[in-house]
Amino acid sequence: MYKKIVVGFAIFVLASLVAAPVLAAWGDGPDGDLHPMVGALYYDMDANGIISYYELVCSGSYAGVSSDGMYDVFLTAAHCLAFTPSLGYPTAYVSFDNDTIDDVSGVIEAVRYTWDPEFGQNHADLHDLGIVFLPVGSVVGILPVELPPAGYMDELLYAAALKDLDVEAVGYGFIPIWQQPGGTQFNMTGLRNMATTNVKGFTHAYVLYNQNQNATGEGGVCYGDSGSPQFIVGSRMIISVSSGGDAICRANAYSYRLDTPDARNFLGQYLDLP
């Protein structure tokens, strides 16, 4: 079931804070149970005590138990978390429900959350990583994502294995519909969706993805996917989390690398790294 909606308050706020933030994976359709470790991040925007699909803010993934054994860790983007306390949403919620259009099941209330303290200080490297701490044992029956070893993207480049590397991008949110009267429209499906896209290149901080459907015939990410992971096809290893892209989700997307010293310095405070 697809429901056409106007991009809501949450997306407007994020769009005003980060240039063209990526927030739903489009291209391959519903993910079903292929990637159960990918979840959605919500805030109770209408303050009614019930989490609804339209209160989606971002996506993310279960990264396992924290290194101190006290929390289950949900990995997302810093810009999904850094501004919300000032907007009056101090509590975050996570669900791994793959179909939320009727109701969001399995909602987990976060204990707390944090983000890289260097977030937003350098536009060439936003340090766009955030961590949501869930009660330990609250994520049941789901295997975590696997983080890449240090310098993984550089190793792929040196091995000439980077060209046309496909990844699976998985997230919740909006599907772009182009060439509409009045401009691009965005559909929210309420589903966890998957897209196959390929690596265009990378910088010292980001992996760049080509999501020009006319050029590649593949998909990409859009509003609803910030913080969502990009998997090496057929594995649980993720190489990046969605950070930004073009405003109508049609051409390019960039995601924050997880194999760099900066990323590992932040993540290593909370997770055991390979």
The tens digit of pLDDT for each residue in 78-102 reads: 999 998 877 788 899 999 999 998 8
Cβ density class 154-189: b for 16+ within 10 Å, e for less: eebbeeeebeebebbbbbbbbbbeeeeeeeebbbbb
Catalogue all structural domains in the chain, each as residue range(s) with its CATH number.
3-22+35-144+261-267 (2.40.10.10), 152-257 (2.40.10.10)
Higher pLDDT, 8 or 270: 270
Compute the average pLDDT of residues 60-71: 98
Q: What percent of the chain has pLDDT over 70?
A: 81
Compute the average pLDDT of residues 31-59: 94
Q: What is the pLDDT of residue 71?
A: 98
Output the pTM of the full model. 0.87
Helix-strand-coil split of the chain, %, nearest 5:
15, 35, 50
Q: Predicted confidence band at 260 (pLDDT cuts at 50, 70, 90)?
A: very high
- Beta-bridge mates of residue 172: 192
